[in-house]
């Protein structure tokens, strides 16, 4: 797609972070937007920011883990706007825990949003994109869809799955010679609240009260910068979009050292684990 002006884009997880920044950027380019989130206060703020750009805006509470809600939303958006050209499957959550400590319920909760939400969004909107004659699917993965990381098994599983799902989708669209692109986005550390709002299972030596804050310290890219990269990926019909210098580095590291990177992570985690255990030890026992 060479332009988003006068087109219609749907964005999940639009109440904050990358979703909000991308929705506002699209609106500033003259794109009408349909927004969804479960955070109604955040969604209302994004709606106001987009309306200020002078475009048509619709905002709905949609739980992307609920297939029926996503399909109903897609059909209503297409009916109200007359067409849909872009779907950005952005909604996501985080979970910090070892595999041993991860409850099945938490694993299923994360997968239902981070993976199935992408599947539902893609399948619900794809027929409408095809009906419009052109379009683009943007699915948000992560750098954790490129490498495995201790305490992130559930998140890794979902984001690796999004990568494979999107690559297969892109190939199928090209086999059909459809005028629809598909991009898998791999953000590095983005300055959002996802880590702060994560479900974390505390375990000495693995996770503690400081884990999320320590994780956030390495976030270097703003949501606005991420939004610019996503829009560029749509315009240039890219198969994959890395966001942030950290994402570029991690991708290079994984490709050059596909197994050695794991040893580097293990060494770093062992050092961190030692410090955490020492800090948690009763006075005089360290």
Beta 57-61 vs 32-37: how paired, if at all?
Answer: parallel
- Beta-carbon contacts of 131 under 8 Å, excluding residues fewer than 6 positions away, are 78, 83
| CB contact at 8 A, 219 and 189 | yes
The Cα 109–Cα 97 span in angstroms is 14
- Beta-carbon contacts of 99 under 8 Å, excluding residues fewer than 6 positions away, are 153
**CA distances, 31 to each of 3, 9, 221 (Å):** 9, 7, 24
Tokens (6 digits) for 282: 């009763």
| CB contact at 8 A, 35 and 144 | no
Beta-strand (E) ranges in the chain?
8-11, 32-37, 57-61, 86-89, 95-96, 135-140, 180-187, 199-200, 240-243
Q: Which of 14, 11, 228, 245 is nearest to 138 (CA)?
A: 11
| CB contact at 8 A, 151 and 96 | yes
Q: Which of 48, 54, 63 is nearest to 29 (CA)?
A: 54
Catalytic residue ranges: 155
The Cα 111–Cα 116 span in angstroms is 6
SS3 (DSSP) at 244: coil
């Amino acid at each position: 797609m060479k332009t988003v002006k006068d087109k219609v884009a749907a964005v999940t997880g639009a109440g904050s972070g990358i979703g909000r920044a991308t929705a506002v950027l699209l609106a500033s380019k003259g794109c009408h937007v349909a927004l969804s989130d479960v955070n109604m206060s955040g969604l209302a703020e994004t709606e106001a920011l987009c309306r200020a750009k002078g475009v048509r805006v619709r905002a709905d509470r949609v739980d992307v883990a609920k297939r029926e809600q996503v399909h109903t939303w897609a059909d209503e958006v297409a009916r109200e706007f007359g067409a849909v050209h872009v779907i950005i499957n952005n909604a996501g959550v985080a979970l910090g825990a070892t595999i041993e400590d991860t409850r099945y319920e938490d694993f299923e909760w994360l997968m239902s949003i981070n993976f199935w939400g992408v599947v539902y969004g893609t399948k619900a909107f794809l027929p409408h994109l095809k009906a419009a004659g052109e379009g683009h699917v943007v699915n948000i993965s992560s750098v954790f869809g490129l490498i495995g990381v201790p305490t992130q098994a559930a998140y890794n599983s979902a984001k690796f799955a999004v990568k494979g799902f999107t690559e297969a989708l892109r190939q199928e669209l090209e086999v059909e010679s459809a005028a629809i692109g598909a991009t898998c986005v791999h953000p590095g550390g983005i300055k959002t609240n996802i880590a702060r709002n994560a479900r974390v299972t505390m375990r000495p030596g693995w996770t503690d009260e400081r884990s999320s804050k320590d994780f956030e310290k390495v976030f270097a890219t703003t949501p606005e910068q991420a939004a610019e990269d996503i829009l560029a990926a749509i315009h240039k019909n890219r198969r994959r979009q890395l966001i942030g210098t950290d994402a570029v580095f991690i991708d290079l590291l994984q490709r050059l050292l596909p197994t050695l990177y794991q040893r580097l992570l293990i060494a770093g985690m062992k050092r961190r684990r030692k410090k955490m255990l020492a800090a948690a030890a009763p006075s005089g026992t360290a």
